[in-house]
Amino acid sequence: MRTLITGIDAQGRSCVVSDIDMATAAVPGIPGVRNAVHYRTTESPPSARLPALADNVDVQLPPGILRLMVVDHAPHGPNDDPTTATKMHNTDALDIVYVVEGQAELALEDGSHAVGPGDCVVTPGVDHAWQAGPDGVRFLVFSIGTPRLQ
Interatomic CA distance for residues 21 and 89, integer angstroms: 27
Interatomic CA distance for residues 123 and 129, integer angstroms: 11
Share of the chain above pLDDT 90, in %: 81
pLDDT in tens, 20-58: 999 999 999 999 999 999 899 999 999 999 888 899 999
State which amino acid sits at residue 123. T
Q: With cut-offs at 50, 70 and 90, classify the pLDDT of residue 80.
A: low
pLDDT in tens, 110-134: 999 999 999 999 999 999 999 999 8
The per-residue DSSP string of 92-147 comes to: SEEEEEEEEEEEEEEEETTEEEEE-TTEEEEEES--BEEEEEEEEEEEEEEEEE-P
Q: With cut-offs at 50, 70 and 90, classify the pLDDT of residue 78.
A: low
| Residue range 2-145 in CATH 1.10.150.20 | no
Share of the chain above pLDDT 70, in %: 95
